[in-house]
Amino acid sequence: MSLFDMTATDLLAQLQSGGATSVEVTQAFLARIDCHDKSVGAFLRVNREAALAQAERVDRKRACGEPLGRLSGLPVAIKDVLCTAGEPTTCASRMLEEFRPPYDATVVARLKAADAVLIGKTNMDEFAMGGSTENSAFQLTRNPWDLQRIPGGSSGGAAACVAASMAPLSIGTDTGGSIRQPAGLCGVTGMKPTYGRVSRYGLVAFASSLDQAGPLARTAEDAAMLLEVIAGHDRLDSTSVDRPVPSYSQSVRRPLEGLRLGLAREHFGEGLDPEVEKAVREAVRVYESLGATVHDVSLPHSKYAVATYYIIAPCEASSNLARYDGVHYGYRTDQSDRVAELETELASRRAETSATVLDEIDNPLVRMYRRSRAEGFGAEVKRRIMLGTYALSAGYYDAYYLKALKVRRLIRRDFDEAFAQVDLIAGPVAPTPAFKIGERVNDPLSMYLFDLYTVSTNLAGIGGISIPCGLSSAGLPIGLHLQSPPFAEDCLLRAAHMFQQATDWHTRKPVLD
């Protein structure tokens, strides 16, 4: 078996037994990137030299018998929304094309402390807004299973690079499904931990009450190893929760006895592709054969989840993205033609009575903000900033934002009541397998509705994982979504591992020419 085909767990065993060096492992993945990333487009940047230098450092430490971190010598890809000190961190936006953060995100710092090899930064929807990675300002990422199809998003690069064996481990972020949905569509394992489990320090904010970083990998075992490194309290993020990090990588192999699995009828309604439903129901039967019991649960408010999410997330985004003003960092419009333009417009619009118009065009600073943001942001980011600004504006706040926050509470209560009866809730992660590139770009609402099974996890702040559970007749991966009560990552990972011991869907790989 080639090094790039191995799981991270097996690679680590190879490194520890002397079967391979970190330089060899890193070179194997770099070669794989050279061969296939031109067609897949998962990476925005590959840190070839830095990665090899780090691999050499780890090999040297290992040869000298020095103590090593838990990921010593394993390549890890990072979604380009996490700050890497001195290296570009673009969020796939023109706005941050030139931005070089002065510090590392805590997740990145922890990976470095664990002696990981940071191999590159992966593509995503601009500012993590989207579900297809088509909103990247720089490039498309293609699904390795069918290059005409989307990889999902927003962590499309993070999922595609694992699916195409260009990295054994990768870090994504999930605000409404952005780890789990691409993991499902690309046939890999991806987890959104409970809100607060992983520090958000240095994760460029989209929606602060929903954002959470998490692992993508081939297997639950690998995801457990990666989560164990990045999880934990951080004094630089006061919303990270101060509770001990269980030893996920130790417990993951222990099967769950008497697992109670919930099925919500709301997850099997209109719009669900029959092939996806069949694969998910078959996966549930696998759990039954492993001794799990299946129970009907009800999540009556889940029909409001997409509407609630697409109010709250844009509201938080409009506030968070106000920082991109063309002053402190990020893109600024070319100002050379500003004065002439100002004079022309003032003359032509002086007759207008609207005070706001005159205020605005009379103020060169506001004009600079508006132009910089208009030129620096893409269409979807603008749409969400507009929706959020509108929903928070005077006269609409109660009807939209406040109403959504109340429904959010009801969605959380549904889960609390369901989890009083079951340990995990199983369902589809996405209504269909990956769709074709370009198919939905002109229909934002249909893109939003694609998120119907994942957004409620973030609204409630609970945990979720997607694991491969089948292939469609067209040969496209189908993901099983498991949701857990807060801080039950251990249970999610163990359940995922049980399934992966009994099935081989997670071992299937796309054929790349």
Partner 1 sequence: MSISRSEVEKVSLLARLRLSDDELDRMTAEMAQILRYMELLAEATTDQVQPMAHPVDVTDVFREDQVRSSLSREQALANAPHHDDEYYRVPAVLGEA
Among 132, 165, 178, 372, the active-site one is 178
Q: How far apart are CA 297 and CA 17, in angstroms?
A: 47
Alpha helices in 325-432 (DSSP H): 338-349, 355-361, 364-376, 379-392, 403-418
Beta-sheet strands, E only, within 266-375: 293-297
- Inter-CA distances, 356 with 198, 343, 353, 363, 479, Å: 43, 17, 9, 11, 50
Q: How far apart are CA 449 and CA 430, in angstroms?
A: 10
Instruction: Evaluate whether 168 touches 218 at the Cβ level (below 8 Å).
Output: yes
Please count the other Cβ atoms lying within 10 Å of the Cβ belonging to residue 262.
24
Active-site residue 154, yes or no? yes
Instruction: Evaluate whether 169 touches 6 at the Cβ level (below 8 Å).
Output: no
Q: How far apart are CA 136 and CA 375, in angstroms?
A: 14
Among 93, 136, 154, 165, the active-site one is 154
Torsion of CA 498, 504, 507, 509, to 10 degrees: -140
**Burial letters 363-393, b for 16+ CB under 10 A, else e:** eeeebbbebbbeebbbebbbebbebbbebbe
- Supply the Cα-derived Rg of the chain in whole angstroms: 23
Query: Count of residues for the chain?
Result: 513
Token digits of residue 347: 């003359």
Please count the other Cβ atoms lying within 10 Å of the Cβ belonging to residue 316.
22
Minimum distance from CB of 460 to partner 1 (Å)? 7
Q: Name residue, tokens 């857990």.
A: 484
Instruction: Evaluate whether 182 touches 288 at the Cβ level (below 8 Å).
Output: no
Instruction: State which residue, 371 or 508, has the beta carbon closest to partner 1.
Output: 371
Instruction: State which residue, 120 or 486, has the beta carbon closest to partner 1.
Output: 486
Instruction: Evaluate whether 223 touches 503 at the Cβ level (below 8 Å).
Output: no
Minimum distance from CB of 124 to partner 1 (Å)? 20
Instruction: State which residue, 63 or 365, has the beta carbon closest to partner 1.
Output: 365
Give catalytic residues, as residue numbers. Answer: 79, 154, 178
